[in-house]
Structure 1
């Protein structure tokens, strides 16, 4: 991992409002903690190797300072009966494993727990994202090849 990549990651975390981000790769372990006016970064080289496909980033969201109240639309009320599959990390969202392969899921497809629904690329590593519930995909909320944030909704699943 290059210094430029680490600096960009620190800037991204500071802007995102996340309290803490942990990134573990084969030979590098990075922890970035942010608070009011301070950023603390710990970088350890030659960390214990991780198995392939293990999650590499976890960033808990900071609580919003103020909550705006807006009227609930009928679409939002309809969406509340669905389960939302969210992004467990920051990275780039892809709907298929490679450009020449078919899509993981489409609207109307049925998924089971542990069914792969997409991949998220973070730091040149492709992480398979699995559905945590059984149901039918009713809406895909993110365009292919676009950046996603931690906790960003990716899919709506009808569990009924």
Structure 2
């Protein structure tokens, strides 16, 4: 949360009838309290409460916070996606070479998204120095995502597939 957003919240709370406000998201905590009395003193002079600036409604405070809340939701969504992705097994390239989804251009791909694989299932071929190396899944599960394109050069250790384990 940016300091300007916090200042805007303080300003809105100060102008509202709210006496206490709390907001917490992703380790960021804001707690504001406003103490009101029937008499307000400023520069040693007493003012009555009728001279206070018009109070914004709770809806105005919510509207001002809407962009901040949306931003926090996006961060949470990204965090959940990363957490789910980290639970997936990555089939990595064991060598530098060219990735092929099938044994020849006229053949169907070994696997697609949603395909069930076992530890011995061939998932692709990586060609290196005219040698075609069949790559096995080495895990039982379901292909969730194919991370490279057919004919793409791949590096040693580069993730090729994401697999959800059974």
TM-score for the superposition, normalised by structure 1: 0.54
Aligned runs of 1:16-55 on 2, under 5 Å? Answer: none
Q: How many angstroms apart in 1 are the aligned matches of 2:79 and 2:149?
A: 23
Structure 1 position 80 matched with structure 2 position 55: no
User: For residues 76 and 142 of structure 1, what CA distance do their matches in structure 2 show?
Assistant: 19
Which residue number in structure 1 is paired with residue 110 of structure 2?
104
How many residues get paired? 90
Structure 2 residues not aligned, in runs of 5+: 1-77
Among 139, 152, 159, which residue is 1:153 paired with? 159
Deviation at 1:151, TM superposition (A): 0.2
1:143 deviation in Å? 0.8
Give the distance between the partners of 1:75 and 1:90, measured in 2 at CA. Answer: 29
Q: 1:92 aligns with which of 89, 92, 98?
A: 98
Aligned alpha-carbon RMSD (Å): 1.5
CA deviation map 1:24-79 (0-9, x unaligned): xxxxxxxxxxxxxxxxxxxxxxxxxxxxxxxxxxxxxxxxxxxxxxxx73322111
- Structure 1 unaligned spans of 5+: 1-71
Q: Deviations over 1:98-136 (max 9, x none)?
A: 011110000000000110000000001110000010000
Show the counterpart of 2:147.
Answer: 141
**Runs of at least 4 residues of structure 1 off by over 6 A?**
none
**Normalising to structure 2: TM-score of the pair?**
0.52
Could you tell me how far 1:152 is from its partner in structure 2? 0.2
Match of 1:73, SS state, is helix
- 2-side partners of 1:141 and 1:75: how far apart? 16
Q: What corresponds to 1:118 in structure 2? A: 124
Partner of 1:129: 135
